[in-house]
Structures are given as C-alpha cells and as structure tokens.
Chains A and B, each alone.
With several copies, the nearest count.
Chain A
Amino acid sequence: MPEITFLEAVNSALKEEMHADERVFLIGEDIGAYGGAFKVTGGMLDEFGPERIIDTPIAEAAVIGAAAGAAMCGMRPVAELQFIDFISCGGFDQLVTVAAKSRFRNGVPCPLVVRGPAGGGGRGGPFHSACPEMWFVSTPGIKVVFPATAYDAKGLLKSAIRDPDPVLFLEHKFLYRRIKDEVPNEDYVVPLGQALERRAGDEMTIITYGAMVHTSLEAAEELSKNGHSVRVIDLRTLVPLDEDTIVKAAIETSKVMIVHEDTRRGGLAGEIAAVINENAFDYLDGPILRVTAPDTPVPYAPSLEDAFLPQVSDIVTKANELLQY
C-alpha cells in the first residue's frame, strides 16, 4: 500500500468518486485551473473538464445553493469552500435551511457534500482557522465529518459523497501535508458514524477528533511513561455520533476526558458529557473533563495561537488531575 498525504487522500477520493459516478461534480472558487487554494483539486480540471469542475464567482450562497439544487435533482455535488470560515457568509443559510431541512420537509433528499479546510496552527488568524462544527452539529439534518488520518479522509469522503444526505466534511489544514498513511489502491469506505479506538487503555478515556487525535495520542504516550493506560477514541464523525463507543468507553474506563480544538462554550464536549450522563452515570469514577481552546477568536501571532490551541502538556496535566481523582 502506498503512503500518501492527507491532501492526496482527499484528492484521490474525489477523483475516484468522479470516475465511478458521473453524477459527482465539483463546484467552488479557484478549484479549476488553480486546483484550489490548497491544491486539493489539482489536476482535476484537465481530467474532468470545466463542466464537472465548476469555478464560481466569489459567492458562497451560489456555490452551496447551486450544489443543493443539483443534489435535489439527482446529482452528487461536492462544494469546496476555500476556507471553511467562509461558511458564515451566504452559504450558511443554504446549508442549514435549504439542504438540512429538505428531506424532513418534503422527502426530497439533498445529498451534497460541503468540504473545506478547517482548523488552526497555520497562523491564519481569526478568519482562516475556524472549527465551525458546532453550528452544524446543533442543526438537525447535516452530517458532520472531521477525519484525522489520510486513510480515514479518503474512506470517509467516499462515504460522504455516497451518503443520501447533506454532509459537512471538515479537513484539518494542518494535517494536509503533515500526515501520511498507507492507503489502499482499491476502493474502500469508512462508514459514517463509527468512532475508532486509536489506542487501547483502561484507566481513562480521551475522546477527541480532528487534529487533536494526534495531540491526544502524544499525550497518552507520555502518560504511559508514568504507567498510565489511556484509551484514545477518534470520533471521526460528529453527526451521527457514535454513542455506543462513547458509552462503552465510559463504562469500561470510568473516567472520560474530551479534547477538542474548538472553543469551549457550546463545544462538542458538552454533548458528550450529556450522553455519558444519560447512559453511563453509574460507572463514572470522576467528572467528565474538558480540554479545549478558550472562548476567544483564533489569534494570529504564533505566541498567541500556541497558547490558544490545546497542547500535549495541557492534556497531560488535565489527565493527571482526572487519573488522581
């Protein structure tokens, strides 16, 4: 199996799905000749032509709206946002209003994928570093995917494209060229809604997703040096949330910590805390704790962004607190 980067994995998922299914097309800004701001769609214009790789005006309501319309009419559009931050513009309404509610309102499926680079660490400042997942996790009707590895990125994107409902697919830009995996040449999918245990452990569990999977694994490794056995669960999909895996971990390890890059208030950690309370309260031997970014916009200066982003040491400190509880 070849080793490819996260970015190449996304690219090859797009290409393979476009070859396999003529209903799949791409739409977005600068995705054609330029190959996208991060070159995720590099080379695809030559391969598929301007009819299937549609460059648009700077108009996210048009990008996502047109994708939604095409999806309702039987296509399988994949819309790219140059940075996922721009989802707050006109396209927001298209996703939460048009796409998310279509099936419920009148049984018309709207199988579009909106994908784009998310997350910090790239010194992008307040408008190029967002983790906007909670706007959509809290909106019924949108699936939300946030992969951590190249293998998952490819397998999950394929699932997302084949899924009969709207999917927001978040690609952590810090991982694009930093993460390499062995990825099969044969077609495969990673099903939506299945978390993965990335590291076994029985003293406590860290539940996390996206780039924080790697930070959490480092932290778990460090904790193991002091003899601690920490399970690390990579959610991979936030909607549907794999409650079974979460609850099982809570029952088996009795201590749970949630780590996310997103800011704290209203973050996914709260939802997980509620789910565990409802399903595994009796098994808890300590409070469900959170390590998250603070409630500020993402700052620009490296000194600030590093303080903003959860670091290995933050996780280790909080984990020790919980382990000693």
Chain B
Amino acid sequence: MLLTPRHIKASGGKPPEADKDHDKKAKGGELYGHYAANRRVLDKSAKYFVQKRKTSNDAGLSKAQLLELYRLLFETRRLEEHLVALYRQTQVVGGVYRSLGQEATAVGCAYGMRDGDYLQPLIRDLGATLTHGVMPLAMLRQYMAKATGPSGGRDLNTHFSDPNVGILGPVSMLGAMVPVLAGCLLASRFKKEDKAGLVFIGDGGSSTGAFYEGLNFAAVQKLPLVVVIESNHYAYSTPTTTQVPDGNLVRRAYGFGVDVSHVDGNDVLACYEATKLARERGLAGEGPTVIVSETYRRKGHAEHDNQAYVEDNEIEAWAKDNDPLDRYIEFLVKGKYTSKKALEKIRTEVEAELDAARDQAVAEEQPDAQTHLQAVFDDGNTPWPHYETWWRGGPTHREGS
C-alpha cells in the first residue's frame, strides 16, 4: 500500500465531503489521510491516529537522503530536550515551545524545499530551521539571548531573518508572515529567480485575517507559495473545532481556490513528498498549495502549560503508537534501508555536536546595550551577526543542494 498524500486540485478535483462511515473506516484503517480524521479532535480516544501505519517510500529518496532525514529528526528532538534542560537551569530567557511529536512535519516539509527557497518557520518549527540550514548552535544562542545569536539578543526563538539564505523569521503576530512571504516571491518573480516559499501556520493561526489576505493574494497572483497548516489539535488550549466549523481545515483551505494536500503529518516522507510536489507545481505557475498536516502536539503550548485541558491518555496514545521518530525508525529498519547500528552512530554524532554547541553557547555573553540597542533606522551601525555566523547551509543530500 502506497501512502501518498491526498491531493485535491484547486479546480475540478473532488473537494472534501463529510463521511458518514468515518468511524467504521477508521477502525478498518482505511481512512489514512482522509480529512474526516480531523473530526477526531472532538474525540476522547484519538483512536484513529493510533492505527498502526508505516511510512512510505515512493518518495524516491536515496539511502543517504533517508538517513539525513533521520539525523535531522533526531537533532530536532534532542536539541529541544537540551533547551528544556537549559530552561530548567534558567539559562533560557523566556519560554520553550516544543514540537515533540510533530517533528516530521517541520523536517519533512522543509526537506522538500531547496536551498535558496524562502522558509518561514513558526515557534514549533525548529526542525524546519535546522533542515533549511541553521546551526543548532545558533538556536541555542538565540534561546539564551546571546550576542552571538542570529538576532544578537534582540529577538527570540525562530525570530531571525536573512533573505539571502531564505530564512524569514516570523513576528509573533500569527498569520502576518503569509503576505510577507507572498511579497518575497513577488521579489523573486521580478528578479527572475526560481525560488519558492514555504510558510508554516498553525490550525489556530489559520483563523487570522492576515492569513486569509496573504494566501488569497498569493493565489490570485499564482505565486509559488507552499502553506503548511500544522493541524496539531490545539492552539494553545483551544481545540481545532473552535477555530473552524467541524475542525475542517481542508475545507477551509479548499475555499481559497488553491491546491490542497492532506497528509499524515507524522509521516516524514509524506510531508516531504507533498511539499516537493507543491513546490514544483508552484514553480510551474500553478500557484500556491496548502498542505494540511495532521499531527499532534504532545507537549503544552510552552513549558509552563500543564495541559490540564487535554483528555486522559490522548498524549500517551500518540506517544506510544504514533511517534514520528519511532515510525520512521521502524520503516528504515524493517525496510532494510539501514541498520540499527547505523542509526546509533548518527545519534552518537549528533549528541556530541549538540553537547559541544551547548557548552559553547552557555559560555557566551549577552549583548551589550551600547552596541545592540541601536540601528532602528540605518545609522551605519550593523551589529547583527551575519548569517555566515549562524548558517551551515542546507543538508548535503537534499535535492538541489
């Protein structure tokens, strides 16, 4: 059984309909990737997502690429764990926002882009940031507000930009970056660059007017924008059914008159493939695609959130049966793409790198107000760390790298 993402054409294709047999089919495991799954947000058991599923490899990736993806997934998870530890040691300034359980979406989608493409990650897209080429060291510095970090301590988390390498850090105002990315792609059109853009948004963030205006503009202008709606069941404490009738994000996306891809967000290859295809369609002049990625936020909104609003066992069920790393390892090993030992080696390497990065970042200084409270306007002061200090480049084996 090939598990390809479900693709809905902007025109002509079948738009989503309510499915009365949902529960029956879900039990039988048939409903993979079907939008109706989203209605399970209302459910207590999250049973549908607990169906044992494998991860496809019709994505045509080489072994090296498959391993690279694993490295990125693991690096993402471990880096976040480092951040939590540092948070507990009050080394982190502000909060830590985890992507535990949804790393496959961030990593897989970003892997489907190419170097030079524009990427706009949100707080839960550390994995996308690393995949697109940011150093783990940079993220550590950023979370600890070090002068050496990409924003020089002026801003936090994934909030740093350099359009030269395609990173457009978000502002906190959800939805706001969708029109901004459309603007980046306008610029590329002027410059006749072959660049696409990937912008992440949450199920919650997709309720904002800025999201609507920006995506609609990109659609009317047929810009090569890939929008990933990370449908992770919650916006802070709010379930998706409060964001959109029936929690139906696919129908919402369909209304924009763009292509819609509905994917299993815990399947890193499905995410990769959907993005790659969306990117190609976009560059072929077919306009934006919305990828609705079904996943689950296993941690609270941030470290301080105790998730009291979550039903019993929901988190545990997702952790046990639908962890994106576990699934991917199973696929890699059972499919004989690699050995457990090879994976172990990757892990050892990543651990060592992250330990070193952490030690280096911890030892560094916070910014000096004399040099870092300047340059609201161009005043000849450029105290920002240039991207070369925080950029390692896209992954070696990624297509087009």
* A interface residues with partner B (beta carbon < 8 Å): 22-23, 25, 29-30, 32-34, 37, 51, 54-62, 64-75, 77, 82-83, 85-86, 88-90, 93-94, 97-98, 101-109, 123-128, 140-141, 143, 164-165, 240, 294-297, 299-304, 306-308
Contacts and interface: CB of A to CB of B under 8 A. Distances in A.
B184 A125 contact: no
Contact of A30 (B153, B237, B368): B237
The 3 residue pairs across chains A and B that have the minimum distance between CB atoms = A69-B183, A65-B179, A107-B384
B368 to A, nearest CB: 7
B375 A103 contact: yes
A191 B127 CA distance: 45
A65 B163 contact: no
B94 A72 contact: no
A214 to B, nearest CB: 22
A66 B217 contact: yes
Given A105-B155, A301-B366, A59 B191 contact: no
B360 interface: no
Which of A57, A61, A103 has most chain B Cβ within 10 Å? A57
A85 B208 CA distance: 15
B242 interface: yes
Given A66-B179, A73-B163, A296-B373, A58 B235 contact: yes
Interface stretch (B26-34, B43-51, B77-85, B164-172): B164-172
A199 B75 CA distance: 56
Interface of B: 93-94, 145-147, 150-156, 159-163, 168-169, 171-191, 204-205, 207-210, 212-214, 216-217, 220-221, 235-238, 242-244, 305, 308-309, 366-369, 372-378, 382-384
Contacts, number: 270
**Chief secondary structure at chain B's binding surface:** loop
Nearest to B166: A73
A303 B149 CA distance: 14
B377 A308 contact: no
Nearest to B220: A57
Contact of A72 (B163, B207, B235, B237): B163
26 contacts: A22-B190, A34-B305, A57-B220, A57-B238, A61-B176, A61-B209, A62-B213, A66-B182, A66-B186, A69-B184, A70-B190, A73-B184, A75-B186, A93-B210, A98-B180, A106-B150, A107-B384, A123-B94, A124-B94, A295-B376, A300-B93, A300-B151, A301-B366, A301-B367, A303-B366, A303-B368
Which of A54, A93, A308 has most chain B Cβ within 10 Å? A93
